[in-house]
Structures are given as structure tokens and as C-alpha cells.
């Protein structure tokens, strides 16, 4: 695993957004708070196996069963800015590896995205990204 702060720092370096923070369990009330600029939240969700069917079935294959760390990047922005904010964030994380020297082996990649909530003026979006846990470092 890696510290979520690495991805937060990457987003701050690569985008114009300053309000990037660790995700906390939150309520939909966030979307009703005043918004001057996009608010971005980063947090790990869990780990999936490349071959879940191999658990405890074959010791040798278990050793080679890659783990995929899943991280959520959520953001709240003006509804008309959704596409621009998403593009900026995707450009910031695509190809990024928090493990120096492992970027040729594994880097963050898009998994899926969905709308969490919306009002007539704001969107709350979640992007799931994955990183194959490095075995080289």
C-alpha cells in the first residue's frame, strides 16, 4: 500500500485545485455547502485479488496472485465544470506510481466512475483508480 497523501500531493502538483484532502465518512450534506472551487477527497477503499478464485486453492498460484489496491477520488464541483475537473484529475493520476522506480511495473489506472449526488448546480463524482501492488520494491 501507499500513503494516500502521495496521491493528494500529486493532484495538488498537477492540477489547479487546492482543496484536496483525505476522505472521511461523510454525509450527502456536503453537496449543500457553499462551493467556490472544486473540493476533492482521496481515500483507499480496499484490495482485490487478480484471481479471486485461486484463494487457498493452489499455493504456487497464490504467490503470483497480484493484489489491486482500489482508491476513491471524489470531488464536488459546479455541474458545468464536471468534465473539466474529471479530465484534470485523470491526467494527474494516469501513469503515476507512488513507488519510485516502479512506474514501469505498476501505475495508477482508471477502474470506474459514477455520480454520487447532484443538485441543479453541483455534481458529486467518484472515480475509482487501481494500483497493482508492486512486488519489485
Q: Tell me the helices (H) and strands (E) count for the chain, helix number first.
A: 3, 5
Mapped onto helix, strand or coil, the DSSP state of residue 24 is coil
Joined together, the cell numbers standing for residue 81 give 465544470
Q: Could you tell me if residue 137 is inside a domain?
A: no
Q: How many CA within 13 A on the CB side of residue 14?
A: 18
pLDDT at position 54 is: 55
For residue range 113-136, list pLDDT tens digits in order. 999 999 999 999 999 999 987 654
Beta bridge partners of 56: none
Q: Tell me the average pLDDT across 39-59.
A: 77
pLDDT tens for residues 63-103? 566 788 999 999 999 999 999 999 999 999 998 988 876 66
Mean pLDDT across the stretch 33-37?
82
**Count of the separate structural domains present in the chain:** 1
Cell of 25: 465518512
Arithmetic mean of pLDDT, 47-55: 68
Residue 85 lies in a domain: yes
Computed over every residue of the chain, the mean pLDDT equals 85
Distance CA 44, CA 58 (A): 28
Say what the pLDDT of residue 48 is: 83
Q: What is the pLDDT of residue 132?
A: 83
Owning domain of residue 120: 4-132
Domain annotation covers residue 58: yes
Predicted confidence (pLDDT) at residue 137 exceeds the cutoff of 60: no
Say how far residue 97 (Cα) sits from the centre of its chain.
Answer: 12
Relative to beta strand 39-49, strand 20-22 is parallel
Which residue reads 450527502 in cell numbers? 28
Neighbours of 59 (CB within 10 A): 8
**31's grid cell:** 453537496
* pLDDT over 90 at 24, yes or no: no
Q: Which residues contact 106 (CB under 8 A, 6 or more apart)?
A: 97, 99, 131, 132, 133, 134
- 67: CATH: 3.30.2000.10
Amino acid at each position: 500500500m501507499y500513503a494516500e497523501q502521495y496521491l493528494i500531493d500529486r493532484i495538488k502538483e498537477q492540477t489547479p485545485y487546492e482543496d484536496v484532502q483525505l476522505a472521511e465518512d461523510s454525509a450527502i450534506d456536503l453537496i449543500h455547502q457553499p462551493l467556490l472551487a472544486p473540493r476533492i477527497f482521496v481515500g483507499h477503499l480496499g484490495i482485490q485479488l487478480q484471481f479471486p478464485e485461486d484463494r487457498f486453492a493452489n499455493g504456487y498460484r497464490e504467490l503470483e496472485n497480484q493484489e489491486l489496491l482500489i482508491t476513491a477520488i471524489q470531488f464536488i464541483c459546479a455541474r458545468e465544470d464536471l468534465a473539466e475537473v474529471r479530465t484534470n484529475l485523470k491526467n494527474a493520476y494516469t501513469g503515476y506510481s507512488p513507488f519510485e522506480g516502479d512506474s514501469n511495473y505498476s501505475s495508477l489506472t482508471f477502474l470506474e466512475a459514477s455520480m454520487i449526488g447532484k443538485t441543479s448546480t453541483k455534481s458529486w463524482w467518484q472515480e475509482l483508480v487501481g494500483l497493482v501492488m508492486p512486488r519489485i520494491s
